[in-house]
Amino acid sequence: MSHPEQAGDGVPAAQKSSWTAFVKSIASVSGDLSSLTAPPFILSPVSLTEYPSYWCEHPGLFAKIADAKDDESRALAVLNWFISTLKGQYTSRNESMGSEKKPLNPVLGELFYGFWADKDGRGKTSLLVEQVSHHPPITAYVIENQSKGLRLVGHNAQKTSFSAGSIIVKQIGHAVLTYTPPTGTPVEYLLTFPRLRIDGIWYGSPYIELAETSYVSGGGFVSTVDYKGKGYFSGKSHSFKATVAPVMGTGVGEARYTIEGTWHTTSKITKSSGKVAAKGDEFHNVESGAYGKKEEVSVGDVATMEDFETRKLWGAVAKGIKTGDFDTASKEKSTIENDQRQRRKDEQAAGKTWPLKHFKLVENHPTCTSSLLFVFFVVLRVCFVFRVRVNASGLECAYTRLVLLFISRPHTLVPVPITDAIFLFADERLGQLFKATPPTEEGYEFLANWPAGKYD
């Protein structure tokens, strides 16, 4: 898409003064930007609690993960689905609203329920989202296709900062996809999120570029997705390069597949030594008939919703934004925010905290923290026994590889042989320290209490 060329070109005339003040406030803040109030015209009419629905814009593709015949096929299916979700998550507002918009900040306890109906035997897919924390803002969610044995549970938070004319968003959290076959042991896949760079701020027409790396690890394979993006002088917008490598014994082997393309359109396999797909094969195409048209999540009638359900809570605000009545939107938004501040004061005075409805905080998430601690001590033991002298990046490399190895085989609780651990020091490709949920390895456990009447 094209972007404005002059500062402020994308800003409505009536909003230019507030936009200028907003940009100046961004540039003056050295820490987290999440507390800043954005001008009304750049607000989205959609709450952040609705964003997890982008994970399943192609519910048939999600269901196909369960149809894979073996671990290698399933590793590719999981990666294919993961890549297919990126367009909806990170570029859909540009297409529907002209530029990236700031979502409405959910209130503590905000809820969103939705589903995708069964079609062509793919099974019904259900979505549940709850805002589980406000300071810091954390959104927890679950997506489940029970008939296919698939469940995705995750949580997400953001830490924002300003650098070189761009807003940098560090996504904190992770998701765990569990496939439970009709017979056999459940298989878990750990998914991590990219860092976001929001450009176009000066022009009033923001857009997102992905940066750094995501990992998809499980089922005996580790997929690494490196986001390239467009720089100031070179590169192509939204480009990526992914590799899929098998776990060999207790080590990660050579990449069996390399995939390159743009995550918002198409990609192809550029290298292959595997049995499932060949070099030159199309890997993903979000615009093709094979994917089917993207499907919006179905929700109930607003009239039957509870007060804290997203579309009822933000209804008046969303209407004001959509119709350009920013004064009304701002007033309604302030009413909600003031009510929340009063609730927190009342809770503090009573010595109470807000009770979560569908999730429970797990400070040491079993998929992440146990393996992180385990491999950390293995690395230290290796260094001690063999007097290995490594710099910080070398230790991060070994730590990362061991983390990915252990997470990809969560049911194999055997010590990693020291010889294999030494081998993992050699690969500098994963030199960046892998942290699923910095600064602590916490997560949210779904209580499996799907509400009645929300998925009919």
Rama region for 280: left / alpha / beta (φ>0; ψ in -120 to 50; rest)? left
Residue 424 — very low, low, confident or very high, per pLDDT cuts 50/70/90?
very low
- pLDDT value at position 206? 74
More confident residue, 15 or 222: 222
Q: How far apart are CA 37 and CA 455, in angstroms?
A: 35
Mean pLDDT, to the nearest integer, of 303-324? 96
pLDDT in tens, 157-202: 888 777 667 778 888 888 999 999 998 899 999 899 999 888 776 6
pLDDT in tens, 352-383: 999 999 999 987 665 554 344 333 434 444 44
Q: Where are the domains of the chain?
A: 22-285, 369-435
Decide if domain 22-285 falls under CATH 2.40.160.120.
Answer: yes
- pLDDT value at position 372? 40
pLDDT in tens, 74-121: 999 999 999 999 998 888 654 555 566 788 999 999 999 999 999 999
Mean of the per-residue pLDDT values of the chain: 78
- pLDDT value at position 248? 76
Confidence check: pLDDT of 392 > 60: no
Q: Contact at 8 Å (CB) between 74 and 218?
A: no
- pLDDT value at position 420? 31
- pLDDT value at position 162? 74
Mean pLDDT, to the nearest integer, of 32-36? 58
pLDDT in tens, 203-219: 666 778 899 999 998 89
167 burial (CB, 10 Å; 0-12 / 13-18 / 19+) is buried
- pLDDT value at position 320? 94
Residues contacting residue 125 through CB under 8 Å, at least 6 positions apart: 56, 59, 62, 63, 115, 116, 143, 144, 145
Confidence check: pLDDT of 438 > 50: no
Identify the sign of the CA torsion 210, 88, 22, 237.
Answer: positive
- pLDDT value at position 144? 98
Q: Choose from 79-93, 221-235, 436-450 the range with maximum mean pLDDT.
A: 79-93
Residue 386 — very low, low, confident or very high, per pLDDT cuts 50/70/90?
very low
Q: Choose from 247-261, 270-284, 385-399 the range with maximum mean pLDDT.
A: 270-284
Q: How far apart are CA 137 and CA 329, in angstroms?
A: 22
pLDDT in tens, 41-77: 678 899 999 999 999 999 999 999 999 999 999 999 9
- pLDDT value at position 20? 62
- pLDDT value at position 21? 63
Q: How far apart are CA 377 and CA 359, in angstroms?
A: 31
CB count, 10 Å around CB of 268? Answer: 16
Mean pLDDT, to the nearest integer, of 241-270? 89
Residue 402 — very low, low, confident or very high, per pLDDT cuts 50/70/90?
very low
Instruction: Tell me the one-letter amino acid at 302.
Output: V
Residue 14 — very low, low, confident or very high, per pLDDT cuts 50/70/90?
low
